[in-house]
Amino acid sequence: MTAVQEKWWTKPVSHRIGAGFLAAALFTFFCHRYDVVQDDAVISMVYAKNFAAGDGLVFNLGQRVEGYTNFLWVVLLAIPHAIGVDAIVTARICGVLSAIALLFLSWRLSSAVSSRPRDWIHLATPCLLATNGALAFWTLSGMETTTFAMVIAAAALRYLRTGRLDAGTGLLFGISALIRPEGSMFFALTVLHQVFHHVIRERPVQLRTLLRASNAGVLCFACLVVPHILFRWLYYGFFLPNTFYAKTGISITYLTHGLRYTGGFLASYGLYGLLPFAALLLIRRHHTRGKVTYLALLTAAYGIYVTLVGGDALAENRLFVPILALLMAPFTEAVRVMLLRMMSQRHAGLAQVAITAATMAFSVVAADAGLLHARDANVAHNAKLETLADYIRSEGGTDLIASTAVGIPRYRTQANVLDLVGLTDSMVAHHPVRLPGIRDDHILSHYNTEYVLGQAPDLFMFVAGSKPTTPAGRSLFLSRRFRRNYYTTYLQGEFPVFLRRDSLEVSSEEIFPDGRFVELYVEALSTRQADPGSARDLLRRSIGLSPPDFAEPHYWLGRLYFDENQIKAAENHFRDAVTIDDHSVMALAHIAFIEMSTSRADSAIVHATRAQRLAPNSLYCNYTLGRALIAAQRFEDAVAVLQRAASLGGTQQDYCLYWLGVAALASDDVAGARRAWTRLLEISPGNDAATRALALLGA
């Protein structure tokens, strides 16, 4: 060790503590910035909750389906459920503790692959991890992601330090395999590396000795993993999790998704592929070759696996978090070696600090917008599911719902939840039925429409609202039983769900032979805001191909004309929709609004009342009825309806409050009018109409 190195290392407090505080501060900031709980985490908590209650490792009571891939995580989460502690908070605390341990292990990994393990510059590795948005995003998600990454890093570190697959290494890999099945792959790659590395570098006698010494590691791994596999087969009837059958397949769709997923990761955190290849600089070095080839084998094989399985349905690089530390440790060492070859040690240290800072900044800038978008989308998504759970709890007769997002509704209610894509349903996962015309363009591509409708759910929910994004959702519109027995209603404001009608019109199934009309319909909804003209053309083509009882394209055509103030054309399409389906809620409400605006108050009240009865929680339906009642000079009735509308929230709440004030004033309730307009100014400061109205009242 040189004098300069001694100088750096003899002052460990300033460097270790400084780097530690920097990493902790940065990581805390990014965890807070991207903080959101995932609905998929709640799926695991459903299993843990039922297990703690003595109902078994099941999602819906009485149905043995392994809809999770994190056995040990589920078992651990059963503990807070059993003792009455908040399981979501517990899971998030475990995620934070695991991430802290991972930061420390990343430093030790960086030291382990270095020819100078005590060099201070290895502290750069935890700093790189601390600004990794994917790690921060998944730390507080409630999922097992960071815990799995921590155990993999610990197992890899032990293998690098011992040079063999001893009992401790086998135990750690066994634990990782119980947390996620991919742990078995990391173990197999470790065995492969040990064999081939020593076949090349060691004499056969030494290899046999090494393999005998590895028996303990293999035995420890097998003692943990084999009983779990047997349990899975005896309890669930399959050797692999149900999610494996629901998600995997061989098609160009999976490869396309996988390449896009891996490319996105490399663009955000891999310096466009430069970071993974940094290890190649170290393979030529005798002292680090074996260790670097091991980490390169793990990361390369795992990256290929993630690509082939199609990546992940969840956003923001979840599947790559387990190898972040394995990638960044050799990167730090490679940069150190490269710089030392180019300049003096002092200047190399300063240059490495600059490169590390630049890499940290790059990962933040490249990923921040996507992470914020994913956070906000998940917050809105969870809010919808909480609203659905509130509705189910308030409606005593809701026993079965069907959705592609199943965690929060099942966890928060007593209702069973049918998973449309089959993650927690074995029939959909093992017996999918493709329908003609429905594109296989989603990683969650399994569905069985006749089976799902045969279960007669009380309610269907699409994550994207009225627009089904998965093949499972789009295929439902081919079913006459779905089109005639379910209608769109709205929960709290304008959150659409498909509710079963009081009187079922169709009992037998009839599947429309061509799903192209659904694909055109969905494409139109996707483009209607950006390109209304194209959306109209797509809807007309959809109508030309669709069954005669499909009213939705007619409503949306009317909506496009309505938004462009072409009222006559809009009314014609709305009436076409109602003629086809008298449960077309929003078509009824828009007809009422048009009639109210053209002095047809009595007819408007009839249509608005029917819309409001079909969707009592719709802000727009209540608002339209209130406006129609004002037009008919039924002011006291209008006040009651508009108060209900204003309580629902939503983008049109300001209109509700303004007209509530108008109705209250017309009913001689000056105080009520003042309250409504004051509330309007609170949520919409500077609103001219409310300001003028309050001025007239002398406020």
Residue type, 227: P
pLDDT at position 602 is 93
Pairing of strands 416-419, 459-461: unpaired
Mean pLDDT, consecutive 10-residue stretches, the chain (699 aa), reads 41 62 88 94 96 95 94 97 95 96 94 83 90 95 96 96 90 97 95 75 55 77 95 94 83 84 90 78 72 91 92 88 94 81 75 85 90 93 92 85 93 94 94 91 88 94 87 94 94 88 81 94 94 95 95 96 95 96 96 93 95 94 95 94 87 88 91 91 87 81
| Helix, strand, or coil (residue 84) | coil
Phi, psi values for residue 488, rounded to 5° = -85, 120
Q: Which residues contact 10 (CB under 8 A, 6 or more apart)?
A: none
Residues 6+ apart with CB under 8 A from 406: 39, 43, 59, 417, 419, 423, 424
| Contact by Cβ (8 Å): 509, 480 | yes
Domain boundaries, the chain: 11-377, 395-512
Two tokens at 231? 């349990």
Do residues 578 and 552 lie in contact, with contact meaning Cβ atoms separated by under 8 Å?
Answer: no
Give the span between the Cα atoms of 326 and 148, in whole angstroms: 13
Q: How far apart are CA 463 and CA 77, in angstroms?
A: 26
Burial of 602 (0-12, 13-18, 19+ CB in 10 A): exposed
Tell me the C-alpha distance between 123 and 2, whole Å.
19
Q: Which long-range contacts (CB under 8 A, 24 or more apart) does 521-528 make?
A: 521/477, 521/546, 521/552, 521/553, 521/556, 522/467, 522/468, 522/469, 522/474, 524/553, 524/556, 525/466, 525/467, 525/556, 526/467, 528/556, 528/559, 528/560
Report the predicted TM-score, pTM, of the whole model to 2 decimal places. Answer: 0.91
Give the pair of three-digit tokens for residue 122.
């290895």
Model pLDDT, residue 494: 80
> Which residues are bridge partners to 487 per DSSP?
499
Backbone angles phi, psi at 183, to 5 degrees: -60, -35
Here the tokens at position 102 are 């991972």
| Structural tokens at position 268 | 């955000």
Q: What is the pLDDT of residue 291?
A: 87
User: What was the pLDDT predicted at 213?
Assistant: 60
How far is Cα of residue 156 from the mean position of the Cα atoms in its chain? 29
Looking at residue 10, its pLDDT comes to 41
Q: In what order do the strands lie in the sheet with 495-500?
A: 416-419, 400-403, 459-461, 495-500, 486-491
